[in-house]
Amino acid sequence: MDAGDRPARLAIGVLGAGRVGSVLGAALAQAGHRVVAASGVSDASHRRAAERLGLTPVPAEEVVARAELVLITVPDDVLPGLVAGLAATGAGLSGKLLVHTSGAHGLAVLDPAAKAGAVPLALHPVMSFTGREDDMRRLAGCSFGVTSPEPFRPVAEALVIEMGGEPVWVAESDRALYHAALAGAANHMVTLVAESSELLRAIGVEQPGRMLGPLLGAALDNVLRLGLAGLTGPVVRGDAGTVRKHVDALILAAPEAADAYVALARLTADRALAAGLLKPEAAERLLDALGGNIWT
């Protein structure tokens, strides 16, 4: 990064000093910026503001008044109302960088503040924040989905680099699909693994994590390196009898999991067929086993 692209040392305010805000605020402080104020609602956010930022939370309007860059790290559904409220109160937004970290939203959600003179930026860290100490370590090298007005793109990308991340440009019109892709992969993976762990415990496997870890690690490595060509298992092999046994067992043990299994098996078969990994006659047998049409 050229020296001319580095943002000046800024006074940072954090609106929502929770899992994300406290980590990003600390990362900006490590880069030489000054975190001057933070707000938070819960006891946990108050604790994180004190432990990670060395601050006692203050009202949102005071955070904006003290800051040159306002980092908004609140839940997606809270963000529009918060921005609209700040703009309506005339909270001194003119000339300030207003950065939100929502994956689902782009710049449009910041329009009320932009009309009041703020510079809108969307910087979404592609990482799951758990509130544990290793969140800071995981931030290093993670991608950020960046959306900003074109003149401020170098500033947005420089801020990401200063936090240890890798900026990746996402067009405003693509934010919803971008976030759907990430949530589908990460959130649903957690649900699927938790469900599999519960099923294994139910049949007496005491440490399902030890059993699943190597399998899931290999599967993740395969798909990231090879794409769909890394697919293994009964669907891509066309083992319709095995798939039917899976469905029957799940219907008895966990009916809600059976529905998810069928839907994902259909999607897997559809993708495998389109990629030439599954023969049409094998796909027909799977269709019968799954009880639906994989070409819909």
Express each pLDDT in 63-88 by its tens digit: 999 999 999 999 999 999 999 999 99
145 with 184, same domain: the answer is no
In a domain? residue 35: yes
Q: What is the CATH number of the domain that holds 132?
A: 3.40.50.720
10 with 148, same domain: the answer is yes
Q: Which of 130, 149, 170 is the last residue of a domain?
A: 170
The residue type at 71: L
163 with 200, same domain: the answer is no
154 with 246, same domain: the answer is no
In a domain? residue 296: no
114 with 218, same domain: the answer is no
Give the tokens for residue 110. Answer: 């910041």
Q: How confident is the model at residue 2 (pLDDT cuts 50, 70, 90)?
A: very low
**Using CA atoms, how far apart are residues 65 and 237, in angstroms rounded to an integer?**
62
185 with 73, same domain: the answer is no
77 with 106, same domain: the answer is yes
Q: How confident is the model at residue 90 (pLDDT cuts 50, 70, 90)?
A: confident
Q: Which of 144, 170, 196 is the last residue of a domain?
A: 170
pLDDT for 283 equals 94
Q: What is the CATH number of the domain that holds 268?
A: 1.10.1040
In a domain? residue 134: yes
In a domain? residue 242: yes
51 with 81, same domain: the answer is yes
Q: Which helix (H) or strand (E) holds 11?
A: strand 11-15
86 with 112, same domain: the answer is yes
In a domain? residue 295: no
pLDDT for 111 equals 97
Q: What is the pTM of this model?
A: 0.86
Range of the domain at 238: 177-290
156 with 21, same domain: the answer is yes
Give the tokens for residue 20. Answer: 């994300």
Span 85-114, average pLDDT: 94
pLDDT at 292 over 60: no
**Using CA atoms, how far apart are residues 70 and 157, in angstroms rounded to an integer?**
16
In a domain? residue 260: yes
127 with 152, same domain: the answer is yes
143 with 214, same domain: the answer is no
Q: How many domains does the chain have?
A: 2
Give the tokens for residue 182. Answer: 């990430």
Express each pLDDT in 194-231 by its tens digit: 999 999 999 999 999 999 999 999 999 999 999 999 99
- Maximum separation of any 2 CA atoms in the chain, in Å: 67
Q: Which of 128, 147, 170 is the last residue of a domain?
A: 170
Burial class of 232 by CB neighbour count within 10 A (0 to 12, 13 to 18, 19+): exposed
> At 2, phi and psi to the nearest 5?
-70, 150
